[in-house]
Amino acid sequence: MDSIEKLKNIFRDFPTVGQRTAMRFVYYILKLPKEKTDELINAILELKNKIKLCQMCFNPFEGNNLICPICQNQSRNKNLLCIVEKESDLLSLENTRKYNGLYFILGGTLLRVEQLKKRIAETKFSEIIIALNPTPEGRATSILVEQIIKNLKAEGHEPQQRITHLAKGIPVGGELEYADEETLENALEGRK
């Protein structure tokens, strides 16, 4: 495989990038001056070296602590837990500035089920918001997560807590990260 083909294949695996865009990226890089390509390579290496996952919520962050700035923040409501599928969903909810609780990133294909159980069993949350995407997979996962929480309760791990879901409004089959802020704000405020 020649180097053009090789790089094209790498870009093609990026989210939302198809064959043609992948090819455009390759040509763009070909035209970049040497110092710009070095900058790109270093930025990627730096990202991989410096960013780690928060041990509590699995949000990627940079710093010397084991937990991220959100989990460290003393002014956040520690009784509220919001379960999301991925980092970008957390970011979308943060951007609404209407949510002041904590998060748990469940992960897309490999679900962090054991970590979630541990987190819920260890902490006394008064409300757990299941904020997964209204896609078929997201809905199936929501049912699974709700069952897990209920089982934990039945085992006596946790005092009674409310389990809520985002209100309807996010387009069916859509994802939190593509919903506009107002829609997301309303879904959050109308949760039940």
- Could you tell me where the DSSP H helices lie in the chain? 3-12, 19-31, 34-50, 69-72, 87-96, 113-122, 136-154, 181-189
Closest Cα partner for 43 from 59, 54, 32? 32
CA distances from 166 to 11, 46, 83, 131 (A): 34, 36, 11, 6
Total of residues contacting Zn ion (CB under 5 A):
6
User: Which one of residues 8, 26, 57, 105 is an interface residue with Zn ion (CB under 5 A)?
Assistant: 57
Range in contact with Zn ion (rule: CB under 5 A) among 10-18, 62-70, 116-124, 130-138: 62-70
**Chain residue whose CB lies nearest Zn ion:** 54
Range in contact with Zn ion (rule: CB under 5 A) among 65-73, 90-98, 105-113, 170-178: 65-73
Q: Based on CB atoms, which residue is closest to Zn ion, 59 or 133?
A: 59
User: How far apart (Å, rounded) are the C-alpha atoms in residues 175 and 180?
Assistant: 10
Identify whether the C-beta of residue 133 lies closer than 8 Å to the C-beta of residue 173: no
Please report, to the nearest 10 degrees, the dihedral formed by the alpha carbons of residues 33, 36, 41, 45 taken in order.
160
Token pair for 123:
């902490």
Please tell me whether residue 82 binds Zn ion under the rule CB under 5 A: no
User: How far apart (Å, rounded) are the C-alpha atoms in residues 28 and 69?
Assistant: 36
User: How far apart (Å, rounded) are the C-alpha atoms in residues 129 and 157?
Assistant: 18
Please tell me whether residue 81 binds Zn ion under the rule CB under 5 A: no
Report the nearest approach of Zn ion to the CB of residue 128 (Å): 16
Please tell me whether residue 56 binds Zn ion under the rule CB under 5 A: yes
Please tell me whether residue 80 binds Zn ion under the rule CB under 5 A: no
Please tell me whether residue 184 binds Zn ion under the rule CB under 5 A: no
Please tell me whether residue 68 binds Zn ion under the rule CB under 5 A: yes
Range in contact with Zn ion (rule: CB under 5 A) among 64-72, 77-85, 135-143, 175-183: 64-72
Please tell me whether residue 71 binds Zn ion under the rule CB under 5 A: yes
Binding site for Zn ion (CB under 5 A): 54, 56-57, 59, 68, 71
